[in-house]
Amino acid sequence: MTPQNIAIVKATVPALQAHGEAITSHFYRIMFESHPEVKAFFNEAHQAAGSQARALAGAVLAYATHIDRLEEIAGALPRIIQKHAALGVLPEHYPIVGGCLLQAIKDVLGEAATDEIIAAWGEAYQSLAALLIAAEEEVYRANAAQTGGWRGEREFRVARREQESDVITSFYLEPTDGGPLLAFSPGQYLTLVLNIDGEPLRRNYSLSDAPGKPFYRISVKQEEGGRASNWLHEKAGVGTVLRVQAPCGDFVLQPAGERVRPLVLVTGGVGITPAMSMLESVAHTGRPVHFIHAARHGGAHAFRSRVDALAARHANVKPLYVYDAPRESDRPHATGFVTRELLAQQLPADRDVDLYFLGPKPFMKAVYASGLALGVPKQQLRYEFFGPLEALEA
């Protein structure tokens, strides 16, 4: 970008702070009206809740604020690149987004959005788009080049279903072509490319078992009003063929390194799914694992028998179950919520652990704050969002 356009973009920061969410909300409206073909890439629940617009407004503001020192926001790019690659975002989608975003800036800011500002933002968008397109192409190429890999969509058949809780069902997926499976890292997810009643949808679901098996397993919560999850639970029986994008995601279990730190997995609700993949991958290694799971009650608790079996077999696995509304027959280890005090009891005195956590956003904010307050190094706190990326700091 030219120095002049960088200066113009930075000068728009106050306007973005004041009107960013109005711009992004309007952006989604006009894009979906003029290009309905891209709606499949977006979750309508996140749109209705406003989280998608808030997340995009934050991203646009961060980009404008750091346009002259992009290295400060480079850490956010891998997650964006992986999410785009998982969904199958292609170069031809970028002009649609760019054109609608510039139009939204014009519409919301009115006369304040001068030709110079629109031109500067056009250059800023093209610069970022070129970076993302190149990086996403590398992901597509790398996936296709590996044993069992593919590019685009591949057909899988539901080979088995298992009820894991009152609301979570596991689907075991095997490729219809009989070929090998691409290896994945514990914590990654698949994207299902669906068509429900004539409406195309794309949804991410975490892989919930260890790599190296002749199937992929996803475990899906039946969400109230969730079109994809309800269709899977009600219609996707054994033999159903699904179109699937290759595994992606940067929320992955990192190698233990020379000094093996204890692994602390803290999950709430369906957040247990990627943690199961991590647990299944390390239980046999001897690495200390604290597996803390929060659920409403025993009926909503998925994988309890499997975690108990791993703990019985491997002394390094220490489970702790917390129910906030236990039934009379339930036997949790604790009742209430995952508090700072509860975490403190599970962590070693030096707090030198790798703490991975995932669940509803209020749960994640509480765990994040507790981890920091207890002295876990910030770089050893690792988390993922099932929805749009938002800040965990209060």
User: By C-alpha distance, which of 273, 274, 275, 268 is closest to 294?
Assistant: 268
Residue 234 has pLDDT above 90, yes or no: yes
Annotated catalytic residue 216: no
Sign of CA dihedral 271, 276, 281, 285: positive
pLDDT tens for each residue of 324-337: 999 999 999 999 99
Annotated catalytic residue 37: no
pLDDT of residue 384: 85
Among 94, 172, 189, 323, the one annotated catalytic = 94
Among 28, 63, 125, 136, the one annotated catalytic = 136
pLDDT tens for each residue of 262-305: 999 999 999 999 999 999 999 999 999 999 999 999 999 999 99
What distance in Å separates the CA atoms of residue 163 and residue 17, rounded to the nearest whole number? 46
Q: Which long-range contacts (CB under 8 A, 24 or more apart) does 361-365 make?
A: 361/385, 361/387, 361/390, 363/268, 363/269, 363/271, 363/294, 363/338, 364/268, 364/392, 365/392, 365/394
pLDDT of residue 387: 64
Q: Please, what is the average pLDDT of the chain?
A: 94
pLDDT tens for each residue of 214-225: 999 999 999 998
pLDDT of residue 389: 60
Residue 129 has pLDDT above 90, yes or no: yes
Which residue type is seen at 175? P
- Of the chain, the percentage scoring pLDDT greater than 70 comes to 97
Residue 31 has pLDDT above 70, yes or no: yes
pLDDT tens for each residue of 52-68: 888 888 889 999 999 99
Non-local (6+) Cβ contacts of 153 within 8 A are: 88, 193, 243, 244, 245
pLDDT tens for each residue of 5-30: 999 999 999 999 999 999 999 999 99
What distance in Å separates the CA atoms of residue 35 and residue 95, rounded to the nearest whole number? 11
C-beta separation of 359 from 366 below 8 A = no
pLDDT band at 390 (very low <50, low <70, confident <90, very high): low
C-beta separation of 294 from 267 below 8 A = yes
SS (H, E, C) 161-200: EEECCCCEEEEEEEECCCCCCCCCCCCCEEEEEEEECCEE
pTM to 2 decimals? 0.93
pLDDT of residue 51: 81
- For range 177-203, the mean pLDDT: 96
